[in-house]
Amino acid sequence: MTIETKQTWDDTVLPFQLDACDIRGRVARLDTSLNQILAQHNYPPAIEALVAEAVILTALIGQTIKLKWKLSLQIRGDGPARLIATDYFAPGENGEPAKIRAFSSFDEDSISTGSEPFEMIGKGYFAVLIDQGEGTTPYSGLTPLAGGSLADCAGSYFAQSEQLPTRFALSYGRSSVPGKAEHWRAGGVMLQHLPKASPFVANADEVREDGLIAAEDLLTEAETENWSRANMLLETVEEFELIGPSVQPADLLYRLFHEESPRIYDAQPVRFGCTCSAQRVINSLSIYSDKDIAHMTKEDGSVTADCQFCGAHYELEPGKLGFEAAERENGQK
For the stretch 17-44, pLDDT in tens is 999 988 999 999 999 999 999 998 889 9
Tell me what pLDDT residue 122 has: 95
Domain-wise residue ranges, the chain: 12-272, 278-332
Among 216-225, 278-287, 304-313, which is the least confidently predicted range?
216-225
Tell me what pLDDT residue 177 has: 62
Among 102-116, 149-163, 315-329, which is the least confidently predicted range?
315-329
Give the pLDDT band of residue 1 (cuts 50, 70, 90).
Answer: very low
Second-level CATH architecture of 12-272: 3-Layer(bab) Sandwich (3.55)
Second-level CATH architecture of 278-332: Alpha-Beta Complex (3.90)
Going from the C-alpha of 110 to that of each of 47, 79, 82, 198, 212, the distances in angstroms are 12, 8, 11, 46, 30
The reported pTM is: 0.85
Alpha carbons 312 and 234: distance in angstroms, whole number: 40
Average pLDDT over residues 161-173: 93
pLDDT at 282 over 80: yes
* Residues contacting 327, CB < 8 A, separation 6+: none
pLDDT tens digits, 152-161: 999 999 998 8
First to last CA, the chain: 62
pLDDT at 214 over 80: no
Give the pLDDT band of residue 266 (cuts 50, 70, 90).
Answer: very high
Alpha carbons 67 and 89: distance in angstroms, whole number: 9
